[in-house]
Amino acid sequence: MHAESPASPAVERLKEAIAEGSPLDELPTLPPPEETPEPLVERVLAPFQRFTQAEAAGGLVLLFNAILALAWANSPWGESYHHLWETKLTIGVPGFGLTESLHHWINDGLMAVFFFVVGLEIKREILVGELASVRQAALPLFAAVGGMIVPALVFTSFTLGTPDVRGWGVPMATDIAFALGIAALLGSRVPTSLKVFLAALAIVDDIGAVLVIALFYTASIQAMALLVAGIVLALLIGLNVAGVRSSVPYFLLGAILWVAFLKSGVHATISGVLLALTIPASTRISGPEFLHEALSHITDFDRACENDPAEFSTTQRHQEPIFALEDTTRRAQSPLLRLEHKLHGVVAFLIMPIFALANAGVAFSGGVGTAITDRAVLGIIFGLVIGKPLGIVLFSWLAVRFKLADLPFGATWRHVLGMGALGGIGFTMALFIAALAFGEGDKLELAKLGILAGSLVAGIAGWLLLRQSGGPKSARNA
């Protein structure tokens, strides 16, 4: 038996400060622990971990895979590129399964996870983020609406009277990974408030893209499958209302929801957004409760260390407060934020790069000359390069002019124009909508050329405009 010992003086001071109701920023800090040697594997993986945590990393991986897809499709092994994605894959048990090409599994299956994370981001921004109040949401909302309407009108002006007009949704969407990646590379030249504005704009943009896909790119409706989807969605809402916080039942019902949408005619990826909106966003315990419980477990651990300093990693006396602290931490996290945090890396470094690899491979032979004169291609390029920044700046100016919103702190109209140009990078969502609008065939390949060219020009234009706009200090003095 070990005699009960008091907690260390530092922990006692911390407990007293919390009991007295001291503000968080005035709480005393615990002394730093003695440094322990870092394991070899962690030293080896540290550079990779720093890269994956960098804001621009997801965009760089996406860009690498897009270039790889282009190089592969235009290499002597180009046929193998197309044959790979047409490989049939069956998921399920014998007699009951789904058989689709690898390309369809990526676009309909993996991208449902992408849309699930988009849905989580949308819900978070509406509850506690930049879209939580009308005043906060006004500028990115107006900017996003302008950034959707004007590119669609530009595209329509090029293709009106032709079957290609059905692709009007292609230049509407912004690729947030690329856009924020370029903004991050510019560092302090771009005010932080402007990056927040761009992220919020992209979230509203995603909402618009989801609605466009659901309403305008649905070929036919199967009523029975849609009814099943409605019942499953009602059950998911019921789980939320009942306070179920385990992710397992949500994902099981989410899988059924995905199959129902796949069979209904409405694009299956919409199920990801709807599933995300049912994920609970509240925590089980409040901030003060978390502080008190966590400190109690830390005190127990501190006492254990005082009694058995040499047995930290082995005794149950040391480990029990750690397990209890882990449980307390989990109850202080909302399922929505926990899932968003866990899946962000999966989407940024696995799903989106795979999507880019499977969709960006366009063979240039014989297609470039045709693309220069193709009305749909020109509509996409001009929609992304001209329509997107024009719509974002024009509608932002109207919102500020009529005192419905304010410019982001430290930003000028040149900054907004630069961000509008970055909004013309439509890569991921544009490729996705193009596949829905044009199906398989030569027109889709031409549309991909337009998307790649337009996104490239928009990215370079945005980078140049923001690079020459000066940092936030000069912006405030402008």
Task: Report helix, strand or coil for 93.
Answer: strand
What CATH number is associated with residue 67?
Answer: 1.20.1530.10
* Amino acid identity for residue 149 in this structure: I
CA distance 103 to 346: 19
pLDDT of 473 reads: 47
Does some domain include residue 402?
A: yes
- 97 pairs with which residues across the strands? 92
How many domains are there within the chain? 3
Predicted pLDDT of residue 313: 55
CA 261 – CA 70 distance, rounded (Å):
32
Asked whether residue 76 is assigned to any structural domain, the reply reads yes
* Residue 423 included in any domain: yes
How far is CA 319 from each of CA 12, 34, 311, 323, 451, rounded to the nearest angstrom?
A: 21, 19, 10, 6, 55
Whether residues 182 and 232 fall in one domain: no
Give the pLDDT of residue 349: 87
**157 in a domain, yes or no?**
yes
Residue 3 belongs to a domain: no
pLDDT at 257: 94
The residue ranges of DSSP E strands in 67-199, in sequence order, are 88-93, 96-101
Contact 118, 338 (CB under 8 A): no
Q: Show the tokens assigned to 411.
A: 């930003």
C-alpha radius of gyration, the chain, whole number:
26
Map tokens 């007293």 to a residue.
16
The answer to whether residue 33 is domain-embedded is no
Give 10-residue mean pLDDT values along the chain (478 residues): 56 66 60 57 52 62 88 90 89 74 89 89 83 82 95 96 93 82 77 82 84 81 89 96 92 94 83 92 83 81 69 66 84 90 87 89 71 88 96 95 87 91 89 88 88 93 86 46
The Cβ of residue 179 has, within 10 Å, a number of other Cβ atoms equal to 29
* 181 and 245 inside one domain: no
CB-based contact 304:321 (threshold 8 Å): yes
Neighbouring C-alpha atoms within 13 Å toward the C-beta of 318: 11
Q: How many CA atoms lie within 13 A of 230 on its CB side?
A: 7
451 and 311 in a common domain: no
For residues 82 and 93, membership in a common domain is answered with: yes
Can you give 62-88 as a three-state secondary structure string? HHHHHHHHHHHHCCCCHHHHHHHHCCE
Residues 179 and 325 in one domain: no
- Number of alpha carbons in the 13 Å side-chain half-sphere of residue 186: 29
Phi then psi for residue 281, to 5 deg, are -110, 0
Both 457 and 445 in one domain: the answer is yes
Coil, helix or strand at residue 23: coil
Residue 235 and residue 438: Cα distance in Å, rounded?
35
Closest CA to 389 of 225, 179, 234: 179
Shared-domain flag, residues 321 and 250: no
* Cβ neighbours, 10 Å, residue 334: 18
Question: Which DSSP string do the residues of 295-333 spell out, in sequence order?
Answer: HHHHHHHHHHHHH-TT-TTT-HHHHHHHHHHHHHHHHTS
One domain for residues 362 and 413: yes
Which range of residues forms the domain containing residue 92? 54-217+267-282+334-477
Residues 413 and 329 in one domain: no
Same domain, 354 and 420: yes
Gap between the Cα atoms of 335 and 236, Å rounded: 14
Residue 31 in domain: no
- Answer whether residue 98 is part of any domain: yes
Question: Do 249 and 131 share a domain, yes or no?
Answer: no
Pair 278, 300 in one domain:
no
